[in-house]
């Protein structure tokens, strides 16, 4: 066009329309590129934010794991100490009573003996009726008495309400 090669006004007009169309297309594509760049920048900011959050959460998880292992070590040590204490105490208990206790403990979810507190069995949380209380009162202090409801061994104390 600038060189004057085109002499036909029609060709010149078509070429001008083509140039205008290409300029509009270029502008539209540049707008799309700008929008994509903005979206990419926002996505990078969010990715950075999420990365920071993940690192924070990983640090919290590591701290919780460390606390958990510390607590587990303490529980293991406590369990070992309690097992030793149980062995020492079990040595002074008659074998048949210990056997009964272990049997009840396995049947009753880990609790074989329960305190009798204010006329109530602490194992099943039920109050003993007057007949049961009279039987417990009448039993010698070295006799093993059991709850009629849950069958656990009753441990009589000064708070038993007898």
Structure confidence by residue, pLDDT tens digits, 64-110 = 999 999 999 999 999 999 999 988 988 888 888 888 888 988 888 88
Q: Given this model, what pLDDT does residue 31 score?
A: 96
Q: Examine residue 162 and state whether it is found in any structural domain, yes or no.
A: no
pLDDT of residue 83: 92
Residue 9 and residue 58 share a domain? yes
pLDDT of residue 18: 93
pLDDT digits (tens, 9 = 90+) for 3-47: 666 667 788 788 889 999 999 999 999 999 999 999 999 999 999
- Give how many domains the chain has, as a whole number: 2
Last residue of a domain, one of 76, 92, 108: 92
Expressed as residue numbers, the domain containing 117 is 94-156
- Domain assignment present for 161: no
What distance in Å separates the CA atoms of residue 125 and residue 108, rounded to the nearest whole number?
Answer: 13
85 and 44 share one domain: yes
Q: Does one domain contain both 40 and 105?
A: no
Q: Are residues 81 and 3 in the same domain?
A: yes
Q: Are residues 81 and 45 in the same domain?
A: yes
Asked whether residue 114 is domain-assigned, the answer is: yes
Domain termination site, one of 92, 107, 134: 92
Tell whether the model's pLDDT for residue 114 goes beyond 70: yes
Q: Please state, in angstroms and rounded to a whole number, the distance separating the CA atoms of residues 162 and 158.
A: 8
Task: Give 118's pLDDT tier (boundaries 50, 70, 90).
Answer: confident
Question: Based on the number of CB atoms within 10 Å of its own CB, is 116 exposed (0-12), middle (13-18) or buried (19 or more)?
Answer: buried
Angle, alpha carbons 13-14-17 (nearest 5°): 85
Global confidence as pTM:
0.51
């Amino acid at each position: 066009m600038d060189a004057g090669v085109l002499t036909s006004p029609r060709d010149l007009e078509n070429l001008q329309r083509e140039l205008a169309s290409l300029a509009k297309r270029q502008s539209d594509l540049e707008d799309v590129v700008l929008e994509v760049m903005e979206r990419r920048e926002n996505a990078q900011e969010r990715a950075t934010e999420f990365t920071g959050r993940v690192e924070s959460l990983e640090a919290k998880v590591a701290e919780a794991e460390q606390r958990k292992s510390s607590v587990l070590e303490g529980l293991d040590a406590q369990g070992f100490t309690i097992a030793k204490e149980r062995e020492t105490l079990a040595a002074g208990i008659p074998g048949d009573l210990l056997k009964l206790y272990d049997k009840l403990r396995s049947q009753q979810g880990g609790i074989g003996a329960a305190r009798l507190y204010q006329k109530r069995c602490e194992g099943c949380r039920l109050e003993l009726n007057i007949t049961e209380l009279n039987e417990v009162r009448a039993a010698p202090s070295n006799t093993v008495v059991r709850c009629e409801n849950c069958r656990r061994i009753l441990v009589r104390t000064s708070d038993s309400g007898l």
